[in-house]
Every structure is written in structure tokens, then in C-alpha cells.
Amino acid sequence: MKTVRITLALATKLRVFCAATTLFAVFFAQSAFAHPHVWVVVKANVLTTPDGKITGIRHIWTFDEPFSAYATLGMDTDKDGKLSREELTPLAKVNMESLHEYGFFTVLKQGKNALTFSDPVDYFLDHDGKALTLHFTLPAKAGEIGIKDARLEVADPSFFVSFEFAKDEPVKVEGFKGACKVSLKPPPPSVFSRLSQLGEGFFEKQQGANIGSEFATPVTFACP
């Protein structure tokens, strides 16, 4: 049986999170066909020059345990009961290649000026025995902007994947010689309470719409 490796971008494009066709039904039965299907906890370090020009962003994404389990089926090639960084290298590479189409679900703006990114570097996956964590850095490519009054969002427009910033040090600024106040504004609880009232049919009808922005947590930077 041919194995199709799970990637985050593949979920939004094909609505498939499976290591093999037979796992498709099992995974979605367990997730009750309700959006979102995958949960990611995000930490982000915004990289700058000393004077505040943004040079890139370093992401650390930790996936929920069910997704991590399905994504890594059959990857323990040495059968030692652990997943090494080397064993996870092919999956990390496929994720980087597929996420490129979706802009890595990352938007960083200053006013109307949006930062664009070069190909990711320093990427790898690790596994703590329960969850996968994806590490990667996106270097700035064009549309040079500064950290002052910048705004960051990490979100899937289809809300098939839920991105939530970590409670401990969710976003940091590295390299800036001054001090920055980082503020996160999560959506009100009422937004998430609506999820229990929305069936999968609702989301299918909204394909192409930016539903994820309603559930996103904007991050703003107040820097002198």
C-alpha cells in the first residue's frame, strides 16, 4: 500500500489527514467531522535588525496528539520506540514544500505593506513521545517593513486547522535594540461558542472565504 505522508497544507487542500486511505475514515470519525480538525500551538520569534527592520520569523508549531500519531505512522524505521530528528526529516521536508503554497499561514504587515518570505531554512521536526513539533525560519524576501506597529497573524483561512498561540512566551522580538510591547488579542469566547452550532456543511459552503480570520489572534507590536 502506498503511503501518503500527512502535511498541514495537504489538510487544507485535500481535507485529508491520513497515512493511508483506510485511515481517512478512522481519523475523521474520531474528529466528528467538525471544524477544526487539527490543532496547532504556536510560538513565534520575530527577527529584526537592531534598528527594527524585520528580517524574518522563526516558528515553533506543536501539533495535537491525534494528528501527531497519524502523521508519524511507520516512521520509526529503527524500531526503537522513538522518533529521531533523522527519521522525521522526510516529513519535515514535505511540510515545507507544501506549506509554501499557503504562505505558511503567516501574514506579517505594517499598515498595508506585507512582508513576503524566502524559502524556509533551519527546519526540522522533533517528537517528545506524544506530539510533533515543527521548527522553521522564514527569512524576509521583499516588502521590507519595520517592527513598529506591525501586525502578525498565523491562521488557516478555511479554519480546517486551528492555530493558537502558546500561553508561555507566545511571541518574542529578537534583535531589536529597543523594547517592544507585544499584545495578543484573542477572539471573544462567544466566537468559539458558535462552533458548537455550526455543522460541517456550513464550512463546506464557505470554501474560498477567509473564515479563519474570525478565529485568529492578531499580534501587534508597540515599539519606540
- Residue 1 in domain: no
Q: Where are the beta strands (DSSP E) in the chain?
A: 38-48, 54-63, 106-110, 113-114, 116-117, 121-127, 132-142, 150-154, 161-165, 171-174, 181-184, 219-222
CA nearest to 107, candidates 62, 64, 54, 63: 54
Classify residue 51 as exposed, middle or buried by CB count within 10 Å of its CB (0-12, 13-18, 19+). Answer: exposed
| Angle (nearest 5°) at CA 203 between 99 and 67 | 45
pLDDT of residue 157: 81
From residue 74, alpha-carbon distances to 3, 41, 84 in Å are 9, 24, 13
Residue 167 lies in a domain: yes
The answer to whether position 2 is within a domain reads no
> How many domains does the structure of the chain reveal?
1
The Cβ of residue 123 has, within 10 Å, a number of other Cβ atoms equal to 18
Report the alpha-carbon distance of residue 91 to residue 104 in Å, rounded: 16
What is the structure's pLDDT at 34? 57
Q: Would 3 be classed as within a structural domain?
A: no
12-25 pLDDT tens trace: 443 333 333 333 33
What confidence tens digit (pLDDT) does each residue in 181-209 have? 999 999 887 766 666 566 555 555 555 45
The parent domain of residue 70 ranges over: 8-222
**Would 142 be classed as within a structural domain?**
yes
Q: Is pLDDT of 213 > 50? A: yes
Residue 166, number of CB atoms within 10 A of its CB:
14
Per-residue model confidence as pLDDT tens digits over 38-52: 899 999 999 999 999
Render pLDDT for 66-83 as a digit per residue (tens, 0 to 9).
999 988 988 999 999 899
Contact predicate 158/207, CB 8 Å:
yes
Question: What are the tens digits of pLDDT across the range 88-138?
Answer: 999 999 999 889 888 999 999 999 899 999 999 999 999 999 999 999 999
